[in-house]
Structure 1
Amino acid sequence: MAQFRTHTLSNGLRVAAEIDHRCYSTAIGYFVHAGARNETDRESGLSHFLEHMMFKGTATRTAADVNRQLDELGGNSNAYTSEEQTVYYATVLPKFQDRLVDLLTDMLSPSLAKDDFDTERQVILEEIAKYEDQPPFGAFERVMEIYYGPRGLGRRVLGTKESIESMRVEAMQDFFNRRYRPENIVMAATGNVDFDGLIASLETLTQSWPDRPKPAAPPSDDPSSLPEGIAIDANLEIEDASQAYLVRIHRGPSMASEDRYASRILASILGDEGGSRLFWELIDTGRAETATAWPQEFADSGAWFSYLVCEPEKLKSNAKLMEGVMTRTANDGVTTEELEQAKNKAMARCIMQSERPSNRLFSVGSRYLTQQNYVSTDELLERFKSIDEQMIGRVAKEYLLESPTQVIASATSVEA
């Protein structure tokens, strides 16, 4: 039986662990409250840039040492940045817990050398260019910028070409010292965890973290202007695009909302890639290549996305069909058969994901970082079981009937 334990170190670092000694692996990660919404215009893309720099070496390890030692531990390791957090994680055999904690903790005191910074800047610029060349050509970023505004949750995780080119290593060092403080970080662990040993190691390894300098806050942005490199036109003209890409946002439930469980089930009924209402209406009929919908939860906000890909001349009619499916779902509800099927899929997925500590790590760490609470697998299953047709109908009416914010990416001017 899994056991959840927490502890706050003397320096303010929070530790949250879902412990199950039946597991054959241990997953550990640092969850840092540093994401795109925490940046200013001059810092746009800095959280993601900094994530890259964490693998470039420390005072005691070179970049080669960091990568070699991660490989030596034999597990899976990586990092990612989102609008609200940056995460560094790995999964290893339990006997390597101490070595992994030492390595990850050391990585969170990076050298941030100027030569590495200048080299990695080019990697980031290539990543931005590559992403902008791929469908749907930045349409998701654009719709977030229009819906939330170009700052906060609407700020691009990668930043812009302009912000990355003008960025300086001193700005990164200041950002690191402001955001990477122990009280702003959660160490999460799942699986076969030696919790007491973990706490003892962290007390020693992180004792100097509070000594990091505290730079002044950067100048505030001018809310009356757009950040450099940002446009909020709802139409993206892509010269070589052969299809049209429509992205829409409705309001959705946050991570703190009880509506999030019913919304996930509703999304399965409405927009799963196979067997959903949008699938049968638009994909199975050959009208569209992609037609899907899903909720995205943030700490204090949420969004319902819908996404349609089809031939440009079919976009307007297909968009109306998609709207019709969503409106009918909100007005008429769902069938008992649909609901039971979606609940069974959600619970099966939940159970299968819970078998791996590496999967549970992100749920435990992200939730404790943003909400300061814990949802067990059993509790999640009970939440799904309790959902009935009335709950689905209420959530559908709450979120699907408002006029959406939309962006279209295509080679020619089309309407939806």
Structure 2
Amino acid sequence: MSQNKNVNESSLYKKTVLSNGIRVVSEKIPYVRSVSIGIWIEAGTRDETEETNGIAHFSEHMLFKGTKKRNTFEIADALESLGGGLNAFTGKELTSYYAHVLDEHLDMAMDVLTDLILNPLLDPKELEKEKNVVLEEIKDFEDALDELIFDFFFQDLFSPHPISFSTLGKKEVVQGFKRDDLIQFMRSHYSANRIVIAAAGNLEHQQLVDLTGKYFSSLNSFSTRKLKDYPEDKPARRERTGHTQLTHICVGCRAIPYTHEKKYPLLLTNTILGAGMSSRLFQTLREQYGLAYSVFSFSDFYLDTGVFGVYVGTDEKNIDQSIELIINEFNKLRDKKLKEEELTRRQSQLKGNLLLGLESTSNRMDRLAKMEIYLHEFHTLDDVIHEIDQVRLKDVIETAETFFTPEKVYQTIVKPNHEP
């Protein structure tokens, strides 16, 4: 297979694009004895319809249920018997199959991962058993209202757009999946041009390229992702009830894509408001008013949109006061109540969190893959730190003025169901 070698060359990071469109990115970390490697597919919940909701996640499950080379136990044991691990996840836009192994077992990790992708049996009997597993997973998730609240929040922000769908899917839809449904989904989305092989650790890039060429030489499929338009932004307060003693609240808005120039001002806004015990929201809602045990803010970035929000778990009687205090913190930033000293501390916090997180080869592998998928280029840690340092007071204030207006803020609430 012909190769376009070292498209972006550096001492540690390398990228190769194979002739079939598969991208291979790696970062050599010579002082560790392990490698984290992942096969990333540009496919997720947003590629589903109402009639297929949950199929991306269910396909991921089924790939572990036997291949032409290995049964279910052999898949699990292949890397665990070597001290390594194998796993996968499905998200709104991406599916990742990944492994963490000693550097000497990279070939075996690649053999197992590619076996899952290229040779799944999708046995009808296993399919019916796995439906029960996923249905139990959905039940477990629905019982965890501190997690389910985020699904409701996405529904309120984006419905009926597929990015608002639950990744696990709906029970009645999952129960109806057939083998041909999975085959059709994978044929449509698991194409060569939508695959990224990412690895970080003690490895040679050329070895990874050679292994990718060896296993994926016959894959030449191509597909184009269709991005659907979003519905009109109509913020509202929506209340639901559930079997819970605690009331769960999300307050937030639609935000910006992964590539947006205001990404770092928004990340710093998030850090100021709700990242850690010293954040404004934690200090106000928990320390000053004693309204909640758990309170934090969050931000997520996607291909063509994003999300910013605040979560708080509190007693039902505190709903309005909690939301009022959150909105007050939004307004303080809009009203320019931010000093240089606080911004500097939060810049240091954000940089420290980033650097500490990247002591893990798994996190470095994730970062490599997402940069390739979303940015199509590599940004060094120095690049990112520079971007964080370049954020000024006016940038954070402008971010707050842009997103924290009443006509943009949604309120999602799940409170106790008092019916017997």
Q: By the TM > 0.5 criterion, same fold?
A: yes
Match of 1:210 in 2: 220
The Cα offsets for residues 81-132 of structure 1, whole Å up to 9 and x where unpaired, read as 1000000111222111111111111111211111111111001111111111
Deviation at residue 138 of structure 1 after TM alignment: 2.6
The answer on whether the counterparts of 1:354 and 1:377 sit within 8 Å (CA) in structure 2 is no
The Cα offsets for residues 156-195 of structure 1, whole Å up to 9 and x where unpaired, read as 1111111111222210111111111111111111122211
For residue 28 of structure 1, what is the amino acid of its counterpart?
I
Distance in 1 (CA, whole Å) between partners of 2:30 and 2:363 is 16
SS in 1 for 2:331: helix
Match of 1:256 in 2: 259
Distance in 1 (CA, whole Å) between partners of 2:295 and 2:360 is 30
Distance in 1 (CA, whole Å) between partners of 2:338 and 2:58 is 44
Matched, 1:377 2:381: yes
Distance in 2 (CA, whole Å) between partners of 1:330 and 1:290 is 24
SS in 1 for 2:292: coil
For residue 305 of structure 1, what is the amino acid of its counterpart?
G
Distance in 2 (CA, whole Å) between partners of 1:376 and 1:283 is 37
Deviation at residue 254 of structure 1 after TM alignment: 1.4
Unaligned 5+ residue runs, structure 1? 225-231
Distance in 1 (CA, whole Å) between partners of 2:165 and 2:383 is 33
Match of 1:120 in 2: 130
The answer on whether the counterparts of 2:157 and 2:254 sit within 8 Å (CA) in structure 1 is no
Match of 2:339 in 1: 335
The answer on whether the counterparts of 2:259 and 2:375 sit within 8 Å (CA) in structure 1 is yes
Q: Which runs of 4+ in 1 moved over 3 A?
A: none
Indicate the percent of aligned positions where both proteins have the same amino acid.
25
Matched, 1:243 2:246: yes
Match of 2:38 in 1: 29
Distance in 2 (CA, whole Å) between partners of 1:208 and 1:119 is 31
Deviation at residue 277 of structure 1 after TM alignment: 0.8
Distance in 1 (CA, whole Å) between partners of 2:372 and 2:274 is 29
Deviation at residue 35 of structure 1 after TM alignment: 0.2
Report the CA distance shift for 1:153/1:340 in structure 2 as closer, same or farther (over 3 A).
same
SS in 2 for 1:284: helix
Match of 2:3 in 1: none
The Cα offsets for residues 328-350 of structure 1, whole Å up to 9 and x where unpaired, read as 11212422222122111111122
Report the CA distance shift for 1:244/1:376 in structure 2 as closer, same or farther (over 3 A).
same
The Cα offsets for residues 277-326 of structure 1, whole Å up to 9 and x where unpaired, read as 11111111312233322211112111111112111111111211110111
Match of 2:349 in 1: 345
Distance in 2 (CA, whole Å) between partners of 1:38 and 1:20 is 35
The Cα offsets for residues 125-166 of structure 1, whole Å up to 9 and x where unpaired, read as 111111111123632212211211133211111111111112
SS in 1 for 2:377: coil
Structure 1 residues 9-28: aligned runs within 5 Å: 9-28=18-37
Matched, 1:268 2:271: yes
SS in 2 for 1:138: helix
Distance in 2 (CA, whole Å) between partners of 1:333 and 1:376 is 33
Deviation at residue 353 of structure 1 after TM alignment: 2.0
SS in 2 for 1:280: helix
SS in 2 for 1:101: helix
Match of 2:413 in 1: 408
Q: CA RMSD in A?
A: 2.5
The Cα offsets for residues 217-236 of structure 1, whole Å up to 9 and x where unpaired, read as 9xxx9x99xxxxxxx99221
Deviation at residue 259 of structure 1 after TM alignment: 1.3
Match of 1:49 in 2: 58
Distance in 2 (CA, whole Å) between partners of 1:396 and 1:211 is 44
Match of 2:283 in 1: 280
Distance in 2 (CA, whole Å) between partners of 1:59 and 1:150 is 39
Deviation at residue 2 of structure 1 after TM alignment: 5.2
Structure 1 residues 81-230: aligned runs within 5 Å: 81-109=90-118, 110-136=120-146, 138-210=148-220
For residue 100 of structure 2, what is the amino acid of its counterpart?
T
Match of 1:316 in 2: 320
Deviation at residue 412 of structure 1 after TM alignment: 5.1
Match of 1:40 in 2: 49
The answer on whether the counterparts of 1:335 and 1:389 sit within 8 Å (CA) in structure 2 is yes
SS in 2 for 1:136: helix
SS in 2 for 1:112: coil
Distance in 2 (CA, whole Å) between partners of 1:184 and 1:312 is 46
Distance in 2 (CA, whole Å) between partners of 1:152 and 1:412 is 28
Moved more, 139-148 or 307-316: 139-148
Matched, 1:73 2:82: yes
SS in 2 for 1:131: helix
